[in-house]
Amino acid sequence: MRMGFAFKEYQQQARRTQNPDLTPRERLEHALWGLSSEVGEVCSLHQKTHQGHALDASALRKEIGDVLWMIAELCDVYGWDMGWIAEDNIAKLRRRFPDGFSADKSLHRSEP
């Protein structure tokens, strides 16, 4: 699947800028705190739209990229390929919503 390859390539490129001096525990903490922080930055850009600011689409794309980088680091901590995660997620969604989204299938699904 092409999506898996794209994520694998991204993960390899992102790995180049991880701090190699961190212990595994420190890498996990860095990824988790960083993911939380970057999601906060995505939310902050939207929050500012309620203070009269226009949504800064360029900044939003950069922050979404930062979220992706943190996900790559988190996957590396566990030795997981982001492509596998992406493909498993799509497979789960195809099982859950074989004909696309439906509120009924969302309300009455068997797996979390």
Q: Which residues bind Mg ion (CB under 5 A)?
A: 38, 41, 63, 66
Taking the least distance from each CB to Mg ion, the nearer of 35 and 83 is: 35
For the CB of residue 61, give the shortest distance to Mg ion in the complex, in Å: 11
Looking at the Cβ atoms of 24 and 40, the one nearer to Mg ion is 40
Q: How far is the CB of 83 from Mg ion (least distance, A)?
A: 24
* Nearest alpha-carbon partner for 38 in 64, 10, 59: 64
Q: Which is nearer to Mg ion, 60 or 85 (CB)?
A: 60
Nearest position to Mg ion, beta carbon: 66
As a whole number of angstroms, the distance between CA 101 and CA 89 comes to 14
- Residue 66 beta carbon to Mg ion: minimum distance, rounded to whole angstroms: 4
Task: Supply the DSSP symbol for 92.
Answer: H
CA–CA distance, 88 with 10 (Å, rounded to integer): 17
Indicate the residue among 41 and 87 with the shorter CB distance to Mg ion.
41
Dihedral angle, C-alpha 100, 104, 107, 112, nearest 10 °: -30
Token code pair at residue 100:
């696309």
CB of 107 to Mg ion, least distance (A): 35
